Structure 1
Amino acid sequence: MASIEQIIKREVNPFDPVTFKAGNFWQEQQDPVLTVEYIHQDILIEIEALLDLVAQDRRTRTLMLYGDSGSGKTYLLGRLKRTFNRKAFFVYIDPFPDSDFIWRHVLRYTVDSLLQVPQGQQESQLLLWLKGLSVFKQRSILERIRGDRQAFIRKLRDTYSTGIYNANEFFSVLYDLLNPELRLLACDWLRGDDLNEEDLKKLRLKSAINTEDAAQKILANFGRIAAETQPIVLCFDQLENIARLPDGNIDLQALFTVNSSIHNQNLKNFLVIISLITDIGRQNADRIHQSDKARIDHRVSLKRISLDLAEALWASRLYPLYKQANPKPPTPIAPLTRKILEMKFPGGKTDPRNALRLGQKLIQGYKVGGKFEEDSVAVLKLLWLEEFNNIQQRVSRIRQFSSQELIRMFQEVLAALQVAEIRPKLLPGTKYGSYSVSYEQPGKSTRVGVVWTEEPHLSNFFYVMNACQKAIQQNLCQTLYLIRAEGVGKETNKGYKLYQQIFTGSPHRRIVPDMTSVYYLATYHSLANAARSGELVVAGETPNINDLEALIRDSQILQNCSLLQDLGIFKDQRNARNGNEVTNNSNGKKMDTLQQLKDFLLTLVTTQQLMGHQVLIQNALNQFQMVNESKVLQAIQQLCQENRIQILNAKASPEAQLVCLVPKG
């Protein structure tokens, strides 16, 4: 038997800030137990009614979702998907890095989301969409033409005789979606990857989707065919980190232009949701054309919640602890009280995040018996590890990101590390400019250029190499790095010949990136999105992008990224590897498993101050699934011997033992 006070001391704080951050709802899985149904329930009902209208008359509509930072906009989008995925297909679109590629970005994330499998289903949204078309409603028809490509294409052409762009190729790719051996390649084509000639030949296609016009028209194909199936919900979120205009403001007009085009082309069966911080929307209102504003069909705003709902939010977080307690606490929020809420929020209203932050602070006070100082760097390290693991699970190849996204993520990391004189778009020309960036070499006054391209098609590669040659001839940088995991062709290819001329002698060279380096960049990008959107909480505070950058530098997390090491970003690791071509197959200065375990355990104890020995072990086993309990115990023992943590009641039963941090000095 254990009282609620004893349970609080041994368990991880139930208001753990790791659970505060929301994001792409196909990547951040919500725990239904933590959802308070009545929070923003009126908005949920309002959006469902709009979705039902789209399903009834197939007319596309656009909804603007406004809310203050911390009001729960991103969380609400995830809840919408979780609640209504049975009646619609949901697409989450990350912030676009370059307005010149916005249609290709929207198409890429539409297909990526459609590849996700909804809860309770066995097949992806994309296959459910395809098999839901009226032409295939009778299973016998689908089975009869499944083995006959031409019959499949002919059936679709007869059904959709007009308005389909590049119909033969588009329907041919839809046919390949039904073939497990070609499905991934077909999806790569649909999402706009510039496939090489060999892959195009496998799909019996002549060209890839490599222009904005083509991407827009392929998306239009989905819209025209989707009129017979469930609606497709396009969710644009975290817009505070989209491409910026020359004056530094976000380019919202580019997004509103896309929305108007969807309406003007009479695309059917879409519900477009644009989520925006209220103040950001107000500041940019005059930058949006009046005709584009008129394309917004409905507007909703998330309001602050009542203290009754704040109390229910506390109860949902405390329930796992409440369930264990014996005797049962007097109220579902004990040891917290309603009076504390009333004192903290005398107006009777708050937002969900502030209620959670207060709960986290109070519970931490109960754990350690009074005031405490949270270690922001330690909290950030836990947030980082959680996000890093999520990305590692869902990203299996570098080409899941476009070249524009990869260079944007790299540029964000440069800014976080205070690299001087960062200039986007090194390469001459619009298209390949967004594959590149230049900066001042740390510790030197020389200029470094970086080009990152992963498009497989070798014609594209030739044009990139040609642009690289022009950049060198114009002396736009003194050292040029090519980052590329994809192949560079053969001796007979023009692009390969240029590559050999540029990157096989000093000072220019190629770096073949490893997946772990990409995970580093993508993890920081995700946290940066959250920080710019006001959705990141670290040690009870909501850091802006400058605060996050400072924490990243203080944590030194990025110093283990081998790509950054090979580029000489860190002074003591400059030119860490020799040779003109560097292949990263490791994690840079990779720590052994025991050291990683020790770092995690120490970081967790630092953030919690006090916790149960068994709870600490279980958290480590959950985090490091490749290790056993004896390895964890070894790491704990070493930390005790190093006088960094202490087991308070070592002679008690394992369940009753507590671990605390040994104060410095």
Structure 2
Amino acid sequence: MASIDQIIQTELNPFDPVTLYTINFWQEQPNPSLNVDSIHQNIITDIETVLEQVAQEHHPRTLILTGDSGSGKSYLLGRIKKLFNTKAFFVYIDPWPDSDYIWRHILRQTVDCLMKTPEGKTDSQLLLWLKSLLTFQNSSLLKKILGERRVFIRNLKAIYSSGIYNPNDFFSALYHLLDPKYSVVACEWLRGDDLDEGDLKSLGIKSSIDSEDSAQKIITNLGVISAASQPIVLCFDNLDNIPRLLNGTLDLQALFNVNSSIHSHYPQNFLIIISIITSTWKQNAALIQPADKARVNAGDFHLKPITLEQGEAILAARLNHLHSQAKPKPKSTIFPLSKEILEQKFPRGRTLPRNILELGRKEYEQYKLKLLNQTENTQDLKPETQLATFKLIWQDKYKKTQKKISKITDLGAPELIRMLEEVLTALQFQEVKTKLLTGKYASYSLSYKQQDGEKVIGLVWTEDSNMNSFYNTMNACQKVVDKRLCQTLYLLRAAEVGNAKNLSNKIYRKIFKGRSKNFHIKPNLESVYFLATYHSLVNATLANELVIEGEIISLKELEEIICDSQILNNCSLLQDLYVVLPADIQEQQNELNLDEIKDFVLSLIRKKSFMERNSIIENTLSQFVKIEHSKIDLIIAELEREQKIKVIAPTSKLDEQLVCFVPG
């Protein structure tokens, strides 16, 4: 076996910044072996007590979870979900794009999370919920209920004789959720997708959930029905990226309006956790209406800094994998760190988990460089190192986004528009404003000025499959054209636009086919990945959770980094909108993709200074699943010819070759 020094020279930094923060607990599953159970254990115990109260009394409970940036709020939510997913269903709700859309956003995210499968289960939370309803525990009644659809609806209406909104449609959707043939469409209806007439007919449902009022009442239905099963835990997180009021303050009142509405009904089997940065809560708490603030009936829970003993346990958990391979084993469980380093860095004896992890990253890296007889000129290399680290973080988030989003309609139009707004702002376009359209579909649109400040561009993004909705959207577009609110109007839509017989199609052709200055772009899923990945980084940044090379990155810095990286230049939608330089031919695009992989390999080696060749190949294959092994070898060879890296012992076997970064 190798010594610990030999292992440190070749292994990746266990405190890699890519893994130092977590956001959505359904998207990013924390490694249980890295947990330190004693950290915030009192908070977990208290929240479990509140959860049990909801389960017993079926009255909603709301609590505020505060803590400084880096205290582990999002991580704690993940721990709570993992610990209690057998006794409750968990929903993660990220920032809503528009307060006029908040109920529909919550409904969409609630149903999406209920479709997730808990660890160790084969059914989704939603199916587990349906199957565990107390009504279904009687097998004879179950057979009776699961008979013909109308019988199913009639029986459930008899059981829930009051308190259910639109019971025929709601119970029809539940009926079809249990049928694999229709479950996907039923789920789409329940989450608020605007279905076409054919899908609605197949479900026996009259209309889609297309308003705030109907979304609110469907959520109330879920709260009523879940009283016969398990509580639903709604976790609101990353609230620093919610819409702002005209005076610039966060529109937290919109969330507390939702909370008060839930509390006004019984039964409601919800536990609501509002996770927020301490300073953000202090700045905004006084702006919440007292009556709504009083609905926070389970108290405030504050995450305090951890002790150095707990910090030491965090370090030991991260280093354990390396220590277990070493012979002899290091005397200290936190080597190459020490208790003395911790005490010197944190003389007060307490700090935040993020500070512990950042110290581990820095000390490990410095020790590795010392072993390699290298010194790092921090001032000279900082911009390059920062960009290299960012590209690794981007690739990690992009890959997770790919797993999260399977089709464009997984996101609502207001969410897509919000993501475009953030990207256009980062790319330094002027006067980026949402709601170019008026009326019901206002949040489907935005406008901005070209960088020369002359021409106003309008964007409308709608993927609603219902032709009546498309007709209304086209009517709203016609009003924009008639009023000359923009010089060019883009329709972003991958869905069908109907045929020549449809009135909606006639208006569509008049606006986007008869006028050369207006255009229809069909966005692809890959473009949505770019937008959603950047959006997730904006969320992390505004929550002060994005740390690169030991520095908390501000939104302005993120915008500068994303521009410097030119990552967004690979987004075909942005190319089609001419907001980034377009790739004219497929060959250029292919070269660009190889350049992206080459850039990733160089960033990886630069960040680690010294790596095993096999480790480089494995990391690259995990990020770019379609790349061939031989192409990676060619990239490594090309980087060596360019004197950017050095392959040590190139004639040895692959598993014995080492690669080091050559500072320019």
For Structure 1 versus Structure 2, the TM-score category normalised by the shorter chain is over 0.9
SS of 1:646's equivalent? strand
- The aligned counterpart of 1:103 is 103
Amino acid at match of 1:361: K
Sort the Cα spacing of 1:177 and 1:310 in 2 relative to 1 into closer, same or farther, 3 A: same
Matches within 5 A, 1:639-654: 639-650=639-650, 654=654
- 1:621 is aligned to 621
- How many residues in Structure 1 have an aligned counterpart in Structure 2? 653
Q: Which secondary structure does the structure 2 equivalent of 1:535 belong to?
A: coil
Q: Percent identity?
A: 51
2:388 counterpart letter in structure 1: A
Alignment CA distance shift 1:324-1:608 (3 Å): same
Matches within 5 A, 1:8-23: 8-23=8-23
Distance 1:267 1:538, change over 3 A: farther
Aligned partner of 2:290 in structure 1 is 290
**Residue by residue, what CA displacement relative to the aligned partner does 1:73-122 show, whole Å, maximum 9, x if unpaired?**
01111111111101100001110010011111111111000000000111
Q: Where do 1:142-153 residues align within 5 Å? A: 142-153=142-153
Q: How does 1:62-141 map to 2 (within 5 A)?
A: 62-141=62-141
Q: CA deviation at 1:540?
A: 1.6
CA distance in 2, matches of 1:58, 1:444: 56
Q: CA shift at 1:448, angstroms?
A: 0.5
Match of 1:384 in 2: 394
Alignment correspondent of 2:339: 338
Q: CA deviation at 1:335?
A: 1.4
Map 1:37-436 → 2, pairs under 5 A = 37-297=37-297, 298-369=299-370, 370-371=375-376, 373=378, 374=382, 375-429=385-439, 431-436=440-445
Write the distance in 1 (CA, Å) between the matches of 2:463 and 2:591.
29
Matched residue, 2:481: 472
Is 1:520 aligned to 2:530, yes or no?
yes
Contact 2:572 2:582 in 1 (8 A): no
Q: Distance in 1 between matches of 2:84 and 2:541?
A: 28
Task: Give, in angstroms, the shift of residue 654 of structure 1.
Answer: 4.2
CA distance in structure 2 between the aligned counterparts of 1:403 and 1:182, rounded to whole angstroms: 24
Which amino acid counterpart does residue 658 of structure 1 have in structure 2?
A: L
Match for residue 503 of structure 1? 512
Give 3-state SS (helix, strand or coil) of 1:136's partner: helix
Partner deviation per Cα, 1:520-563 (whole Å, 9 max, x = no partner): 00000001000001111112211011111111011110001010
Deviation at 1:444, TM superposition (A): 5.8
User: Partner letter of residue 313 of structure 2?
Assistant: A
Cross-structure match for 2:490: 481
CA deviation after TM superposition for structure 1 residue 394, in Å: 2.1
Cα pair 1:91 1:232 within 8 Å, conserved = yes
Per the alignment, residue 32 of structure 2 pairs with 32
The answer to whether the Cα contact below 8 Å between 2:235 and 2:273 also exists between their aligned partners in 1 is yes
Q: Deviations for 1:137-162, whole angstroms, at most 9, x for unmatched residues?
A: 13454345434212211221121111
CA distance in 2, matches of 1:318, 1:419: 45
8 A contact 1:560–1:588 mirrored in 2: no
d(CA) in 1 for partners of 2:258, 2:600: 44
1:581 maps to what in 2?
Answer: none
Is residue 540 of structure 1 aligned with residue 541 of structure 2? Answer: no
Post-superposition offset of 1:626: 3.4
**CA drift at 1:62:** 0.3
CA distance in 1, matches of 2:139, 2:78: 32
**Offset of 1:652 from its aligned partner?**
5.4
In structure 2, distance between residues paired with 1:496 and 1:629 = 48
Determine helix, strand or coil for the equivalent of 2:490: strand
Unaligned runs of 5+ in 1: 578-585
Residues 1:562 and 2:563 aligned together: no
Q: CA–CA distance in 2 between the matches of 1:189 and 1:352?
A: 42
TM-score normalised over the length of structure 1:
0.95
Task: Flag the 1:24–1:130 CA change in 2: closer, same or farther, 3 A.
Answer: same
Q: Is the 8 A contact 2:144 2:152 kept in 1?
A: no
Q: What is the CA-CA distance between 1:491 and the residue it aligns to? A: 1.4
Q: Distance in 2 between matches of 1:612 and 1:445?
A: 53
In 1: Cα distance, 2:234 partner to 2:139 partner: 29
Cα 1:442/1:267, change in 2 over 3 Å: farther
Contact 2:89 2:232 (C-alpha < 8 Å) held by counterparts: yes
Give the counterpart letter for 1:307 in structure 2.
L
Over residues 255-284 of structure 1, what are the superposed CA-to-partner deviations in whole Å (9 max), with x where a residue is unaligned?
001001100123421100000000000001
Distance across 2 between alignment mates of 1:648 and 1:247: 60
In structure 1, the residue corresponding to 2:520 is in which secondary structure? strand
- Mean Cα deviation higher: 489-498 or 94-103: 489-498
1:621 and 1:156 map into 2 onto residues whose CA distance is 51
Amino acid at match of 1:376: Q
Post-superposition shift, 1:492? 1.8
1:573 and 1:443 mapped to 2: Cα distance?
18
Following superposition, the deviation at residue 648 of structure 1 comes to 2.9
CA distance in 1 between partners of 2:103 and 2:600 (Å): 41
Instruction: Give 3-state SS (helix, strand or coil) of 2:552's partner.
Output: coil
